[in-house]
Amino acid sequence: MPSGDLISQLLALFAVLGVGVLLRALGRAGQADAAVLHRLVIDVTTPALIVTVLRRSGIGDGAWGAVAASTVALFACALAGVAVARALGLPRAAQGAAGLVGSFSNTGFLGVPVVLALYGDAGGAAGTAILVDSIVTAFLLWTFGVALAARMGGGGGGGGRGLLAVLLHPNVLSIAVGLTLHAAPIPLPVWLEHALGALGSATPTLVFLALGLSLDLASLRGRVRPLAAVAAVKLLLSPAVALGAAVALGLKRPTSEVAVLQSAMPTSMVSVIVAARYGCDGQFAAATAVVTTLGALASLPIVIEVLRRIVP
């Protein structure tokens, strides 16, 4: 893996995030604009990206091994997040939030575009990243994640509607379309291929710009120690556990790298919503999302360098 090239591409994406932060600071754009970009990415450009990637390369060999390694990391860090928050004397609602935001990664909104930017279609890496997002993040968030949040936050159960919404989400439907087009294969008009490609390629830039516009640095005040502790679980422990699981399972590149990188992504924004909806500490969850997103500037290059030196 050409580590220097990967880090350069990551820094370019985070420079786009910096543009968003600057625009927000200057009052030229803000949360409302970020919400529009979020919706555009979720409903339009990411589905186009998924269809394009899966139609070309399908799901990579060993992708289910990446799912297994990422799942091990998720459960380990959910326990670690709760344990760290409890050790620091945080109330039960904050412990539940820590378990959620310390384990669920931003694998779809951030991880898939990053993997695509770093690897392209090589070895089915992007397809593997999509599978990890669908199973480890989306499915487990609306089952295990909701159960954890409801138990710790006292917000009641009832994740069935949320799970149904996930199954009918444009991203999930686009997986079915992409795999069908790959398996058939079904030819598409040239103009449609170009349109899907153009929309999909815009995803990484729009994602990082939207993240920059949505970062609220004021949410960090007063909770530096617990935020730093949970961020360490998310950004350091999670990829370390995923790496150990990948090595134990005998995964090879790029599958092993995708499992680790997806686990190394900052906190899932949807996990923040779930935490607040089911009675956990939503403010603490949102602040952790900010810290982990900013912290990924430093942690992701470190993870990439470790992968370059260790993974066979």
Q: For residues 70 and 237, what is the distance between their CA atoms, to the nearest angstrom?
A: 12
pLDDT at 114: 81
* pLDDT band with cut points at 50, 70 and 90 for residue 47: confident
Q: For residues 239 and 158, what is the distance between their CA atoms, to the nearest angstrom?
A: 31
* pLDDT band with cut points at 50, 70 and 90 for residue 166: low
Q: For residues 203 and 266, what is the distance between their CA atoms, to the nearest angstrom?
A: 17
Beta-bridged to residue 105, according to DSSP, are: 267
Looking at per-residue pLDDT, the higher value among 7 and 248 belongs to: 248
* pLDDT band with cut points at 50, 70 and 90 for residue 161: low
Least confident of 10-14, 144-148, 156-160, 198-202: 156-160
pLDDT at 2: 47
pLDDT at 1: 46
How many beta carbons lie within 10 A of that of residue 39, not counting itself?
A: 11
Q: For residues 231 and 91, what is the distance between their CA atoms, to the nearest angstrom?
A: 18
Phi first, then psi: give them for residue 120, nearest 5 degrees.
65, -140
Region 12-24: what's the mean pLDDT? 86
Look-up: residue for tokens 């990415």?
A: 41
* pLDDT band with cut points at 50, 70 and 90 for residue 94: very high
* pLDDT band with cut points at 50, 70 and 90 for residue 97: very high
3-state secondary structure of 222: coil
Q: For residues 115 and 204, what is the distance between their CA atoms, to the nearest angstrom?
A: 10
Residue 265 has pLDDT above 70, yes or no: yes
Region 160-188: what's the mean pLDDT? 74
**pTM beyond cutoff 0.85:** no
Q: Give pairs for 170-176: CB < 8 Å, separation 24+.
A: 170/42, 170/43, 170/46, 170/47, 171/42, 171/46, 171/47, 171/50, 171/108, 171/133, 171/134, 171/138, 172/134, 172/138, 173/47, 174/46, 174/47, 174/48, 174/50, 174/51, 175/50, 175/54, 175/130, 175/134
DSSP percent split of the chain into helix, strand, coil, nearest 5: 80, 0, 20
3-state secondary structure of 84: helix
3-state secondary structure of 59: coil
pLDDT at 157: 52
Looking at per-residue pLDDT, the higher value among 173 and 230 belongs to: 230
Average pLDDT, the chain: 84
Residue 122 has pLDDT above 60, yes or no: no
